[in-house]
Amino acid sequence: GQSLEQPSEVTAVEGAIVQINCTYQTSGFYGLSWYQQHDGGAPTFLSYNALDGLEETGRFSSFLSRSDSYGYLLLQELQMKDSASYFCAVMDTDKLIFGTGTRLQVFP
């Protein structure tokens, strides 16, 4: 079957660094994406890895290891506005499959 596992919740303080892990098992793989979703809102695209390695976009970085079926999202210099749910997603052949989601709470 297909599965993308993430920790259910992560907490941190402002200014800290957090890493949200994602392990996946899918029949096909065309890349790992990360999305942010605030309560009541739609997902917004953060980052995408098609190849192994680290992608950096401002305060957010994403890493992929295809041999380990593993990736992570790294959030640096955390701000209160980063409190949201974060989803990894795998493009599996012809559709996007979402992970279980991680709720990040940032405290002052």
- Give the torsion sign (CA, 7, 89, 12, 19): positive
Q: Does 71 bind another protein (CB under 8 A)?
A: no
Q: Does 50 bind another protein (CB under 8 A)?
A: yes
Asked whether 50 and 34 are in contact (CB, 8 A), the reply is no
Neighbours of 37 (CB within 10 A): 15
**In whole angstroms, how close is the CB of 15 to another protein at the nearest point?**
27
Which of 5, 77 has the CB closer to another protein? 5
Which range binds another protein by CB under 8 A, 20-28, 65-73, 76-84, 88-96? 88-96
Give Cα separations from 34 to 107, 108 (angstroms).
Answer: 22, 25
Which of 78, 90 has the CB closer to another protein? 90
SS3 state of residue 37 = strand
Give the interface with another protein as residue ranges (CB under 8 A): 30-31, 33, 35, 40-45, 48, 50, 87, 89, 91, 94-101
